[in-house]
Amino acid sequence: MTSRHPDLEAEQAYFDLAHACLDMARERATMATSVFRTGRGGTTQARFEREAMLEAALARLTKLNIGDRSLVFGRIDPAGTGERFYIGRVGLWDADHDPILVDWRAPVAEPFYRATGREPLGLERRRHFASRGSTLLGIEDEFFGEKAAIGLDLADRDFDGLGGPPGDGRLDGRSGSGALIASLEAARTGRLSDIVSTIQSEQDRVIRSEMPGVVVVQGGPGTGKTVVALHRAAYLLYTHRFPLESQGVLVVGPNRLFLAYIEQVLPSLGEAGVEQAVLADLLSPAVRVAGLDSEAVGRIKGDPRMAGVLRRAVRDRRRPLRGDLTVGYELQRLHLTVDQSAEIVAEASRRVRKHNAGRRLVEEAFFAALAGSARHGADPTAVRESISDHLEVREALEWMWPVLTPAHLVNDLYGSRALLRSAAGGRLGDDET
């Protein structure tokens, strides 16, 4: 028999408050955009600031236009504090600037996704809401710690809304099982939807992992790799908005059908400024497909060993001169020996992590060494200005430390069996090079 959850009316009242705050926030954002659009005159700095504030107000308005998506989907009650935090799609405050709703990406919301029976993360209860618009349809509770027994006592009762009994504080690491099952059983729309209300603990660890470095998400078809990656993009934009808004975020898909399938996820999470592209969009219009690799060659090029081959290929392009360099300067001749060039290359290799950044160090040491070979010494800057356009100087620098683009490096590598064998360095077999 289905019974009415005892907190349904109280939580509905909170839903009404949250939606009223959402309306108020939208009104403020709309008013701000109107004010900044109609602003006139002022200094260049004033106009720049007005445009920046208009852009911020428009972004806020976009974030607040959530359509028919759920605004509030959860609540967490930290143990022994008497506090409770409502988790939702956006952060909201009331007229007194008291927090009403916590953005799902905020640090305080993390236990909502991560808490388990074994690791409650300081919670005594996690509550999931099912809603349609501003109407609360059902509640599912999970209890932790000493209060887990409450969940066991209620396990034989079925409250309205989420299609099953309330949470029982199980130790299997799942969160909001009724809410998750309800989302899985929801009608398909032909487009990928966000999972912000049903993110599981393992998914949340990926989404909230640190920004530096590369995060690789692996899994079989239908395991949520794409949607987790998109939620991670939304999380990073929230947590690191200052650097990422100026640098930009790019989502690359295999084809345009895929992009059409995922295009609504980030806007539904309040992030409308992310660029989406297919691989072909990243290429110059002049690039044309000239041929196709065989399946065997394709496997080798996609092999993780190729990362080491490419690193070695870059290092192989850092070379000492094959013979001493002599170049005319004023009424004398300047010299750079093979040994000096080897020392310059070795020192730059020790000091830089990115290859092209090392070219500046090589040039500085190169001209300093040439200047030092003058009869009475010479100013390296004057030497550089005088001889940097000489053909033998340009050729020497390109030999010692060329500026490389990925396309040029790979083109040279695949165009020379000698270069490829050197870069392979035992990583690939003779039959693979």
Reported as a single tens digit per residue, the pLDDT across 272-313 is 778 899 988 888 777 777 888 889 888 988 899 999 999 999
Q: What is the pLDDT of residue 164?
A: 42
At residue 145, what is the residue type?
G
Higher pLDDT, 81 or 185: 81
Alpha helices by DSSP H, listed for 240-390, are: 241-247, 256-262, 265-268, 295-301, 305-316, 338-351, 358-372, 380-387
For 230, the 3-state DSSP assignment is helix
* Mean pLDDT within 354-374: 95
* Arithmetic mean of pLDDT, 166-184: 44
State pLDDT tens for residues 334-360.
999 999 999 999 999 999 989 999 999
CA distance 319 to 401: 7
* Rounded Cα–Cα distance for residues 372 and 379 (Å): 8
Q: Check: CB of residue 114 under 8 Å from CB of residue 201.
A: yes
90-135 pLDDT tens trace: 999 998 899 999 999 999 999 999 998 889 999 999 999 988 889 9
| Mean confidence (pLDDT) of the chain | 85
Whole-angstrom Cα distance, residue 288 to residue 280? 10
With bands split at pLDDT 50, 70 and 90, how would you rate the model's confidence at 271? confident
More confident residue, 33 or 172: 33
Element (H, E) at 412: helix 406-415
Query: CA 355 to CA 318: how far, in whole Å?
Result: 9
Rounded CA gap, 73 and 88, in Å?
A: 6
Q: Which region, left, alpha or beta, applies to residue 82 given φ > 0 means left and ψ of -120 to 50 means alpha?
A: left
The pLDDT of residue 167: 37
Q: What's the confidence (pLDDT) of residue 223?
A: 82
User: Quick one: pLDDT at residue 427?
Assistant: 87
Q: Does residue 150 sit in helix, strand or coil?
A: helix
pLDDT at 17 over 50: yes
Residues 6+ apart with CB under 8 A from 244: 236, 237
Query: Among candidates 67, 92, 25, 33, which has minimal Cα distance to 264?
Result: 67
- Helices 380-387 + 358-372 axis angle, to 10: 100
Give the type of residue at 363.
E
Please tell me the distance from the alpha carbon of residue 152 to that of residue 5, in angstroms, as a whole number: 16
